[in-house]
Amino acid sequence: MPVFDLSQTPLRDLNSALHALSAGANDTAFEVVNPRGSHAVAVGIDAPVTVEVKGSVGYYCAGMNDGGTVTVHGSAGPGVAENMMSGTVIIEGDASQYAGATGRGGLLVIKGNAASRCGISMKGIDIVVKGSIGHMSAFMGQSGHLVVCGDAGEALGDSLYEAKLFVRGTVKSLGADCIEKELRPEHLEKLAELLAKAGITDVKPEEFKRYGSARKLYNFNIDNADAY
């Protein structure tokens, strides 16, 4: 297993090694020690590699991940897993703002809390937060799932399209065009699947409420023509 000590080795060397992986490569598991809050750790992965980061990271860790499994044994700064395409990113601690922003696929698991704008403009990513999330989360969320085992801050799902939101705790307020919806059997099945993938076994799907778009904001209504 290649080990990169970021107190001794430039971050560029780590990311270059991850980008140089080819099909059938022997080194598919990497360990990163002493990250010391470095930005852009393990960005742009496009192979089924495993990266264990022993400590906290700064901005944009695992950004643009496409097929890798990245685990941060600490907390993450803003934009973790930003624009992720596929694979899995796990944050053992807390995540700062806009975690999973614009994510198109894959699974982001945050075992602590996430700050504001979690899942902003999500486009297919699945995000599971064991703790709580901050304000304006899932703003303009287009598709994918956001599962929150704790509470949600103000303006949840503002200007939401078709992303599905599930919150177990309280929601401080809903954003424009976001409403509570019926929690049907197919949603319970999906919730159970996502919680299992995230390794969360101490909560039940039936304890959540579902929120989604009222579909009034992004459809033209002739009665509102004067507002355009």
Phi, psi torsion values for 180, nearest 5 degrees: -75, 140
Rounded to an integer, the average pLDDT of 120-130 is: 98
Looking at the structure, tell me whether residues 2 and 64 fall in a common domain. yes
Quick one: residue 191, left, alpha or beta (phi over 0 = left, psi -120 to 50 = alpha)? alpha
Structural domain range at position 18: 1-96
- pLDDT category at 226 given cuts 50, 70, 90 is low
Whether 23 shows a pLDDT value over 70: the answer reads: no
Per-residue confidence (pLDDT) for residue 217, from 0 to 100: 80
Per-residue confidence (pLDDT) for residue 224, from 0 to 100: 58
- Tokens describing residue 117: 């704008």
Dump pLDDT digits (tens) for 4-19.
999 999 999 999 999 9
Task: Assess if residue 225 is contained within a domain.
Answer: no
Among 96, 118, 146, the domain-final residue is 96
Whether 225 shows a pLDDT value over 60: the answer reads: no
Per-residue confidence (pLDDT) for residue 222, from 0 to 100: 63
Among 61, 96, 131, the domain-final residue is 96
Looking at the structure, tell me whether residues 167 and 184 fall in a common domain. yes
Rounded Cα–Cα distance for residues 66 and 45 (Å)? 6
